[in-house]
Amino acid sequence: MAGSFMKTRSLVVRLCLVALFFSYGAKPAIAQTSESRQPIRSEAPLPTETPAERNARLAWWREARFGMFIHWGLYAIPAGEWKGQTDHAEWIRDSAKIPLPEYDQFVGQFNPVKFNAVAWARLARRAGMKYLVITSKHHDGFALWDSKVSDFDVMATPFHRDILKELSTACRQQDVRFCTYHSIMDWHHPDYLPRREWEKANRPTAGADFDRFRAYLKGQLQEIVNGYHPAVLWFDGEWEDTWTHAMGQDLDDYVRGLNQNIIINNRVDKGRHGMAGQTKDGGYRGDFGTPEQEIPDQGLPGVDWESCMTMNRHWGWNAADTQWKSTEDLVRKLIDIASKGGNFLLNIGPRPDGTFPDQAVERLEGMGRWMEKNHNAIYGTQASPIGKPAWGRCTMKPLGNGRTRLFLHVFDWPSDGKLTVTGLAGRPFKVALLDGGQRLKFAVRANDVTIEVPSQPKNPMATVIVLDLAKL
Ligand code: H79
């Protein structure tokens, strides 16, 4: 520990020097109109950035729609089980009240000999995922990269390989954008406050200095941003009272100072509205809202958001968790989210040997088979202009010259061979199956179009029909 304190101290000096070069003026608060219903503004544009620049910065992310989340760290070793209780996961140090010296013993056991970064990145790509967000550090404070500012990192384990380095390289090879999740809350660093309730007696706070923790955090982020070039920084663990709005703004400025094209979620600041995750009014930082384990009931016009979700009931590896969502459910969740203008960040909790659970692989491959045929109905699409039809969902894409393509994602295939789309203006000039291209006959009556569909769906998870309109 003494070593890491020294490293932290020399870092503070370096950071002060950096700060002299990057002195940011006070940023004016962004005036925001108050919304009548939910707090839904997720954009807090940088004062130095025009709307066009912001659109250009977010363009790839808005087109991508689908990403992989990876929760991996020391907590994979106990696999969710502690003293007979089996519902723990990445929170295990807190939920099982494991004292620090005992938790530290996992460092000597972390040796994922089957870890293959290329296999992970390839699986993400084959599933149709355009980006990958891995936990550089979760709440337990353990760093998955070779960190110069901490000894509580992967280089202290028998594995002794820089996971972020291997994975960021593999992602670039596989054309998957590499991104990192970084927890602000840190249950390991002596300067982080507060302590967990149950460990207060054994981890005194005397001498702890939260500003020194902030310098440590910046040191870590400098290593990550400059070393591995994540396209997104996905913060979390921002909710404790020690983390303030001013600190969130400061950290947001700091990271954007390292890479002005980076995308940062709203958990860098204090504007997240509960688990629904959208950003409250009030000039909070963050490029996008972060609903967790839920999907908004409706799209939020003009708001960027991403629902993150587990495939079973835990983020980190839990060997006892058998409650996997079906591939069909996951495909339909992706479609539902795209139909509301959001992104889907779907989680994997790898095992301590470095492999993905078999059930996760099976689902990724299943989603990939659907995406292979239907990706045009997901990537680069916008929210449905016709709400939520009774038979499924709708996404859309502008075709130029005022023309619009609707993608009708049919969940409930009509038994009478007729699919009715309501609320359209004008006559479609083309209706066809997306997979295979078969043209379909249709009849127009007022604002409704009734399509003659084959007796069987192309894919029972969702069959996509393309419908092109001269105007909406
Ligand atoms: O990393 C995964 C989880 O370990 C982590 N986030 C995902 C991506 C997570 N940490 N805590 N939780 C999820 C649930 C915590 C919820 C609460 Fe709250 C924190 C309840 C009260 C404080 C969220 C934030 C709701 C209000 C503020």
**DSSP character string of 28-73:** PPPP-PPPSSS--------TT--HHHHHHHHHHHHHH-EEEEE--S
- Do residues 233 and 164 make contact, with C-beta atoms less than 8 angstroms apart? no
Give the closest residue to 217 by CA, choosing from 192, 199, 241: 192
- Do residues 230 and 137 make contact, with C-beta atoms less than 8 angstroms apart? no
- In angstroms, the CA 58 to CA 13 distance is 34
Q: Same structural domain for residues 324 and 441?
A: no
Q: Same structural domain for residues 371 and 397?
A: no
Q: Does residue 384 lie in a domain region?
A: no
Whether the per-residue pLDDT at 13 is higher than 50: the answer is no
Confidence of residue 46 (pLDDT cuts 50, 70, 90): low
Amino acid identity, position 269: D
**Residue range 195-205, pLDDT digits in tens:** 999 999 999 99
Whether the per-residue pLDDT at 2 is higher than 80: the answer is no
Q: What is the mean pLDDT of the chain?
A: 91
How large is the average pLDDT for residues 93-120?
98
What is residue 47's predicted lDDT score, i.e. its pLDDT?
61
Q: Same structural domain for residues 314 and 287?
A: yes
What is residue 124's predicted lDDT score, i.e. its pLDDT?
98
Per cent of the chain over pLDDT 90 is 87
How large is the average pLDDT for residues 135-161?
98
Q: Same structural domain for residues 47 and 112?
A: yes
> Roughly how many angstroms between the first and final C-alpha of the chain, as a whole number?
63
For residue 397, give the CATH number of its domain.
Answer: 2.60.40.1180
User: 3-class DSSP state for residue 191?
Assistant: coil
Phi–psi pair at 406, nearest 5 degrees: -100, 140
Is residue 19 lining ligand 1, measured as CB closer than 6 Å?
A: no
Give the closest residue to 407 by CA, choosing from 385, 426, 439: 385
| Residue 379 CA to ligand 1 centre (angstroms) | 29
What is residue 471's predicted lDDT score, i.e. its pLDDT?
82
What is residue 31's predicted lDDT score, i.e. its pLDDT?
26
Q: Does residue 382 lie in a domain region?
A: no
Q: Same structural domain for residues 208 and 306?
A: yes
Per cent of the chain over pLDDT 70 is 90
Residue matched to tokens 């054994």: 202
Of ligand 1's atoms, which has the minimum distance to the CA of residue 138?
Answer: 1
Q: Does residue 28 lie in a domain region?
A: no
Is residue 292 lining ligand 1, measured as CB closer than 6 Å?
A: yes
Q: Whose alpha carbon is nearest atom 6 of ligand 1?
A: 236
- Do residues 405 and 396 make contact, with C-beta atoms less than 8 angstroms apart? yes
The more confidently predicted of residues 121 and 33 is 121
| Residue 140 CA to ligand 1 centre (angstroms) | 14
Q: Same structural domain for residues 252 and 287?
A: yes
- Do residues 392 and 412 make contact, with C-beta atoms less than 8 angstroms apart? yes
Q: Which of 344, 375, 406 is the last residue of a domain?
A: 375
Q: Same structural domain for residues 368 and 397?
A: no
**Residue range 323-366, pLDDT digits in tens:** 999 999 999 999 999 999 999 999 999 999 999 999 999 999 99
Is residue 43 lining ligand 1, measured as CB closer than 6 Å?
A: no
User: 3-class DSSP state for residue 466?
Assistant: strand
Q: Does residue 339 lie in a domain region?
A: yes
Whether the per-residue pLDDT at 301 is higher than 80: the answer is yes
For residue 309, give the CATH number of its domain.
Answer: 3.20.20.80
**Residue range 47-57, pLDDT digits in tens:** 679 999 999 99
What is residue 28's predicted lDDT score, i.e. its pLDDT?
26
Q: Same structural domain for residues 45 and 161?
A: yes
Q: Same structural domain for residues 370 and 400?
A: no
- Do residues 383 and 301 make contact, with C-beta atoms less than 8 angstroms apart? yes
Report the predicted TM-score, pTM, of the whole model to 2 decimal places: 0.91
- Do residues 317 and 88 make contact, with C-beta atoms less than 8 angstroms apart? no
DSSP-assigned beta bridge partners for residue 135: 181
The number of domains in the chain is: 2
- In angstroms, the CA 148 to CA 8 distance is 9
User: 3-class DSSP state for residue 105?
Assistant: helix
Q: Which of 340, 375, 410 is the last residue of a domain?
A: 375
Q: Which of 375, 409, 424 is the last residue of a domain?
A: 375
Q: Same structural domain for residues 337 and 396?
A: no
Is residue 239 lining ligand 1, measured as CB closer than 6 Å?
A: yes
Whether the per-residue pLDDT at 36 is higher than 80: the answer is no
What is residue 425's predicted lDDT score, i.e. its pLDDT?
82
How large is the average pLDDT for residues 311-331?
98
Confidence of residue 282 (pLDDT cuts 50, 70, 90): very high
Non-local CB neighbours of 265 within 8 Å, separated by 6+ positions = 232, 233, 234, 235, 286, 287, 288, 290, 306
Residue matched to tokens 């069959």: 463
Q: Does residue 381 lie in a domain region?
A: no
Q: Same structural domain for residues 341 and 433?
A: no
Is residue 228 lining ligand 1, measured as CB closer than 6 Å?
A: no
- Do residues 142 and 163 make contact, with C-beta atoms less than 8 angstroms apart? no
Q: Does residue 386 lie in a domain region?
A: no
Q: Does residue 408 lie in a domain region?
A: yes
Burial of 436 (0-12, 13-18, 19+ CB in 10 A): exposed
CA 386-277-62 angle, to 5 degrees, is 55
Both tokens of 223, joined, read 């290593």
**Residue range 225-266, pLDDT digits in tens:** 999 999 999 999 999 999 999 999 999 999 999 999 999 999
Whether the per-residue pLDDT at 19 is higher than 70: the answer is no
SS (H, E, C) 132-154: EEEEEECCCCCECCCCCCCCCEH
Confidence of residue 452 (pLDDT cuts 50, 70, 90): very high
DSSP-assigned beta bridge partners for residue 177: 131
User: 3-class DSSP state for residue 400?
Assistant: strand
Q: Same structural domain for residues 158 and 58?
A: yes
Is residue 306 lining ligand 1, measured as CB closer than 6 Å?
A: no
- In angstroms, the CA 195 to CA 336 distance is 40
DSSP-assigned beta bridge partners for residue 393: 409
413: containing domain: 392-469
- In angstroms, the CA 434 to CA 385 distance is 19
Of ligand 1's atoms, which has the minimum distance to the CA of residue 69?
Answer: 8
Q: Does residue 78 lie in a domain region?
A: yes
Of ligand 1's atoms, which has the minimum distance to the CA of residue 135?
Answer: 1
